[in-house]
């Protein structure tokens, strides 16, 4: 990626799931170190965009381009995307009984960094991040998301992100299922990582997480397209006026 090249450039992206077109010409540019929020109603295409960027096999790109650090992201497998620095925090993380969190985290860190991290060094780094997320040591012996509360699942997602150190973090409704205390902890964790080395695309319905994470850019998605963009004040306006306001703002004069 050259100095002037964006970290992520999405151009006229069209995506289908089976026989239904979900994304209908998405355009979005994210530069290094930027925090973007993507907002919109259920079914507008927000999660489809995140899954497409991560390489979910159900989502087929039929038109357009996705460039990550100047390279065609669509030619990379999901595993290659993760190794290259793209990370997706799921809205609904799945449980994986039988695999301990400790072993899982060591495996993904080795895959991302391309080498095994000495146990002592790994444990030291892990404890620092766990302390920030208010996670107890016995958490590591549990199985992945098995019997976890919503807050525990999201903390684990952010812990993975802290260890993997991605260059592009896609956070799909990270605030879903969190109480106020858990939301503050998770937001603090995200804020501690966002910066020159990590750009963020934060997908959310509501403005509440943006009370703790201030995006430089806010985008509104409707019917598979980004229809409106602005600064952080746009999220506040959406909270006050609702998504119907966007529809009316974009409608030709005299049609609403």
**pLDDT tens digits, residue range 226-237?**
999 999 999 999
Binning pLDDT at 50, 70 and 90, where does residue 91 land?
A: confident
Residue 230, classed as helix, strand or coil, is strand
- Extents of the domains making up the chain: 8-250
Give the pLDDT mean for 212-237. 94
DSSP letter (8 states) at residue 183: H
* Residue 255: pLDDT band with limits 50, 70, 90: very low
Q: Is the dihedral of CA 196, 103, 135, 92 positive or negative?
A: positive
* Total-model pTM: 0.91
Is the pLDDT at 205 greater than 50? The verdict is yes
Kindly report, residue by residue over 47-67, the tens digit of the pLDDT: 999 999 999 999 999 999 999
3: which residues sit within 8 A by CB, 6+ positions away?
Answer: none
CATH T-level fold of 8-250: Rossmann fold (3.40.50)
pLDDT recorded at residue 75: 94
pLDDT value at residue 252: 60
**The pLDDT value given to residue 254:** 45
Q: How confident is the model at residue 218 (pLDDT cuts 50, 70, 90)?
A: very high
- Please say whether the beta carbons of 94 and 153 come within 8 A: no
Contact 154, 186 (CB under 8 A): yes
Mean pLDDT value across the chain: 91
- pLDDT reading at 139 higher than 70: yes
pLDDT-derived band at 253 (thresholds 50, 70, 90) equals very low
For the cut 90, the answer to whether the pLDDT of residue 72 exceeds it is: yes
């Amino acid at each position: 990626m050259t100095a002037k090249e964006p970290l992520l450039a999405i151009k006229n992206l069209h995506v289908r799931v089976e026989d239904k077109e979900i994304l209908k010409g998405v355009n979005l540019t994210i530069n290094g170190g930027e925090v973007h929020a993507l907002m919109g109603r259920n079914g507008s295409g927000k999660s489809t965009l995140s899954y497409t960027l991560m390489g979910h096999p159900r989502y087929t790109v039929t038109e357009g381009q996705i460039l990550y650090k100047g390279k065609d992201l669509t030619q990379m497998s999901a595993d290659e995307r993760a190794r290259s620095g793209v990370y997706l925090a799921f809205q609904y993380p799945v449980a994986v009984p039988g695999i301990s969190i400790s072993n899982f985290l060591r495996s993904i860190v080795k895959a991302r960094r391309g080498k095994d991290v000495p146990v002592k060094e790994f444990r030291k780094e892990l404890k620092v991040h766990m302390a920030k997320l208010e996670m107890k040591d016995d958490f590591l012996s549990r199985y992945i998301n098995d019997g976890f509360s919503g807050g525990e699942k999201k903390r684990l997602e952010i812990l993975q992100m802290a260890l993997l150190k991605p260059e592009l973090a896609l956070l799909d409704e990270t605030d879903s299922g969190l109480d106020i205390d858990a939301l503050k902890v998770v937001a603090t964790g995200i804020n501690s990582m966002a910066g020159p080395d990590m750009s963020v695309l934060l997908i959310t319905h509501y403005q509440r997480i943006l009370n703790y994470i201030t995006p430089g850019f806010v985008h509104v998605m409707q019917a598979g397209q980004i229809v409106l963009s602005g600064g952080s004040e746009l999220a506040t306006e959406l909270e006050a006026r609702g998504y119907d306001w966007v529809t009316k703002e974009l409608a030709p004069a005299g049609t609403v």
